[in-house]
């Protein structure tokens, strides 16, 4: 079993997941750009049921995404570190923000989503799958 661990910058929130890692992706949607300060968001998708908060609590912000679904993003209430994202269309999965992982280098993004919203300076690896919106399925 894969053990994935991480937390926030200040240490107030810690989490773990037994995996499996379903996919690592880079999202270029405008919401992710706003929340990152202009860059795409890198995330590791795992089954929602596998994620467990070990310490602290995260805060949630809900919005409607360009896809039309309700999306949540969570962050540390103390330091603001982005932690997780998910949506009502796929409640069985949750995206862990790669920057919050203890070992982010183990999970480099292997695909790109919402490339239709990408800025001209966002690098999209031509060797990786890329989708103008969400991938099929």
Average pLDDT of adjacent 10-residue blocks, the chain of 137 residues: 92 95 95 92 96 95 87 96 94 96 97 96 95 85
Q: Residue 128 in contact with residue 113, Cβ under 8 Å?
A: no
Strands (E), the chain: 4-7, 14-17, 23-27, 41-47, 51-55, 58-64, 70-76, 82-87, 93-97, 111-113
**pLDDT value of residue 95:** 97
- The structure tokens listed for 66 are 């360009």
The CA dihedral of 110, 114, 119, 121, to the nearest 10 degrees, is 10
**pLDDT value of residue 137:** 67
**pLDDT value of residue 134:** 86
For residue 89, CA distances in Å to 41, 46, 74, 112, 135 come to 19, 15, 17, 19, 13
**3.40.50.1860, 3.30.479.30, 3.40.50.880, 2.170.150.70: CATH of 4-117:** 2.170.150.70
């Amino acid at each position: 079993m894969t053990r994935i661990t991480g937390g926030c910058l200040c240490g107030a929130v810690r989490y773990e997941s037994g995996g499996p890692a379903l996919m690592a992706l880079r999202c270029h949607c405008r919401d992710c750009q706003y929340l990152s300060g202009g860059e795409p968001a890198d995330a590791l998708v795992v089954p929602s049921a596998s994620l467990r908060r070990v310490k602290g609590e995260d805060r949630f912000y809900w919005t409607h995404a360009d896809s039309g679904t309700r999306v949540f993003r969570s962050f540390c209430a103390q330091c603001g570190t982005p932690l997780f994202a998910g949506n009502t269309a796929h409640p069985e999965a949750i995206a862990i923000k790669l920057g919050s992982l203890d070992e982010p280098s183990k999970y480099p993004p292997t695909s790109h989503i919402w490339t239709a919203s990408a800025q001209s300076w966002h690098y999209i690896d031509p060797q990786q799958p890329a989708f103008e919106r969400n991938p099929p399925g």
